[in-house]
Amino acid sequence: MSLMQSKNSITLRIRTGDQKGAATDASVYVILYDTSDNSSEKILVDNFWKNDFKIGALDTFDIQLPESFTEVKKIELWTEKPTVELTSSIWFIQTLELVRGFTRKSVTFPVFRWIRPSIHYTLYPWDTFLPQNDPDKEQRENEIKYKREIYSLEYSEGSPVKLKTLPADEEFSKTYQWQIFSVKWDTKLKNWLSGVTTSSWEKLEDLDNIYYKEGITKPKASAYWNEDTWFGYQRLNGCNPKSIKLCEEIPSKLRVDEDMMKPVLNGKTLEELIQEKRLFYTDLEILEGICHKEQYDICAPIALFMLNSEDDLVPIAIQLQQQKGADNPVFLPTDDWGVWTLAKMWYNLADSSYHQSVVHLGLTHLLMQVVVLALHRNVSVSHPVYKILAPHTLFLLAINDYAFQILVSPGGLIDNVMVIGRDGMFELIHKSSQGWNFLSDGHPATDFENRKVDDPKVLPKYYFRDDSLLLYNSIYKYVSSYIDIYYANEDDVTNDWEIQNWIESMAVGHENGGLQGLPMKDGKGHMSSKEELKEILAITIFTCSVTHAAANFLQYEEYGFPTNYPMTLRTPLLKDKNPKTENDVIAAIPNKAETFNIVTLTRVLSESATNSLGNFETQYIYDPKAVGCVKDFRSDLKRISDGIRRRNRTLDKPYEVLDPVNIPNAISI
């Protein structure tokens, strides 16, 4: 009988990680232990005349075991430095798999660790334990201490916590990094070419000349950017779909009355619209007093919207400043075309400033950075919570590091294209974080309830709401079934010191940069129930996937046409109703160079180069008890996707961004 056919032979498969520095030329040794406490000899894992353990490689080795050897219960693994070190003695193992003889029965050891020379590691099948149940607590503690060394933190007042240095295993893979830069420079080149061959802005039609069928497609909004129904649609299903609120009384600072509004209410009164739940408003008060470029203006608008007879949301009043005054009129759809057009553009400038700063960067990238850093520094890779969250942390720290170096650095692209610049952006983020609550604002159902737009009969074309709730419920179901496998009762949660350390380190009050709205006890973060844990995990996964997708992947469609969702307006703030012309609109929008920068930035940010939700780039869950949870999750997502596609086929403007196949697992761009 050949070695591969023998019942006492084992095939050992080792997958080396694909991150920078993962390869090794160290000598690798293993000892296998069985369920009867038998052990193999010390085995050198090596294929002669082959360079094993390259980055991303799967290496296979054949091992012969004693006749009496039963099922493998653990593996002892270590490395020893070579005499001549050509690559590195430190090695990152992704997974290790044993396949037994002719039965082909396999068991997986999800390692996901840096293996350091001369340290003996004990590896277990499926490797999923709460810390209180781990058979090797000392090894686990030592690994967390090591993670804290490489995930070293930096605090600065008024800013979220961040890394001092990006660890190697958080860096972009070579493939992903190339995809990012190839898109960026392809766009820049085409923009440069169009700048050479296109005349300067003289009329609105000239804007169409910067778009090409290949490379830069024309944003859909270019066809209807000036329609009132589109302006209303942006509040529901655009980049910032989380500001619209049901209006139950007219805000006192909004200078409107029945006589003024009568021509735009289609025979209704304001009170009738309120009673019928067909009146809505937005208030961007947070922008009042925000710093911005001296030569430009910004505003903090309030706007009223009405649901018309076609159930379309349309604007009926826009006040660009918070305080009533002679130089702060209420703009109406019945005003001069140019005046009303510019009023909507000024509103959208404020909304885009809020979107980029708070909705996008602040409440996805930076918020989740706090969660992910606390995870790495406090929770073992053997923990079930780590395994369910890991696919949703992919490249987050890398893209944030890139953003701080390139996009939001002093003098960087944000300073160049946004009227508020990086200083205004971080001022907005700081202001918004003071009142943001993790468990209420991060939970979609609670957020919709707080804005009183949770009823599907209210705003029937609020597709962002409908899709978000379906997806959150699916994510919660997935998390709940998974957590129930590992936590039998509440005591398992309170006795889990890794989870307690995690929640404590990311809750408000822990040094700087903590989060509000997490469960607390005795003045510090504390998890007391399975339900609290489930909600925090579901909100985290939802934010990393669904919330970020909604805020991020419509950017090119919204910002890519300069009159639709401007980042800068070059003329003074509109303060009267003197008639305006197309020339006034042209004078206000960003010039050609600024437009090209915006097109470049938003096209890059709108590209998705990672897998869709549930289709994980790396599998972390191998425990046979838990793999069914992943399968059920994928089935739920498929059902939701099918439903969204059926609905979209009936719509003039399909809302596709929250179709699960279009939602990446993580914040990786």
CA distance 118 to 116: 7
How many residues would you count in the chain?
669
Residue 380's identity, in one-letter code, is: S
CB 169 within 8 A of CB 163: no
Residue 108 has pLDDT above 50, yes or no: yes
CA-based torsion, 426, 431, 436, 438: positive or negative: positive
pLDDT tens by residue, 577-626 = 999 999 999 999 988 778 888 888 888 888 877 899 999 999 999 999 99
Which tokens in the block code for residue 428? 């907005």
| Tokens, residue 346 | 């000024």
Whether residue 3 has pLDDT greater than 50: no
CA end-to-end span of the chain, whole Å? 53
Q: What pLDDT does 413 receive? A: 86
pLDDT at 21: 85
In a 3-state reduction of DSSP, which class is residue 15?
A: strand
Q: What digits encode the pLDDT tens for the residues 142-196?
A: 999 999 999 999 887 766 788 889 987 788 876 666 566 566 656 665 655 555 4
The whole-model pTM stands at 0.95
Residue 180: predicted pLDDT: 65
- pLDDT tens readout for residues 417-471: 999 999 999 999 999 988 899 999 999 999 999 999 999 999 999 999 999 999 9
Taking the CB of residue 7, how many other CB atoms lie within 10 A of it?
13
Superfamily of domain 10-125: PLAT/LH2 domain (2.60.60.20)
d(CA 232, CA 318): 12
Structure tokens at 608: 């998705």
Does this chain's domain 10-125 share its CATH topology with 129-242+352-503+535-668? Answer: no
Reduced to 3 states (helix: H, G, I; strand: E, B; else coil), residue 98 is strand
Q: In the chain, pLDDT over 70 holds for what percent of residues? A: 92
The CATH fold of domain 129-242+352-503+535-668: Lipoxygenase-1; domain 5 (1.20.245)
- Which residues are registered as beta bridge partners of 664? 612
CB of 665 within 8 A of CB of 391? yes
DSSP 425-453: HHHHHHHHHHH--HHHHSSHHHHHHHTT-
Are residues 286 and 354 in contact, defined by beta-carbon separation less than 8 angstroms? yes
Separation between Cα atoms, residue 371 and residue 499, nearest integer Å: 12
C-alpha torsion angle, residues 313, 314, 317, 322 (rounded to 10): 50
Question: For residue 334, with 0-12 CB atoms within 10 Å meaning exposed, 13-18 middle and 19 or more buried, which class applies?
Answer: exposed
**What pairs with residue 14 in β-bridges?**
59, 96
Q: Which of 405, 404, 391, 402 is nearest to 172 (CA)?
A: 402
Domain ranges of the chain: 10-125, 129-242+352-503+535-668
User: Letter for the amino acid at 163?
Assistant: L
Average pLDDT, the chain: 91
- pLDDT given for residue 505 in this prediction: 93
Ramachandran assignment for 432, one of left (phi > 0), alpha (psi -120 to 50 degrees), beta (any other): alpha
Q: Are the C-beta atoms of 357 and 424 separated by less than 8 Å? A: yes
Answer whether 540's CB lies under 8 Å from 573's CB.
no
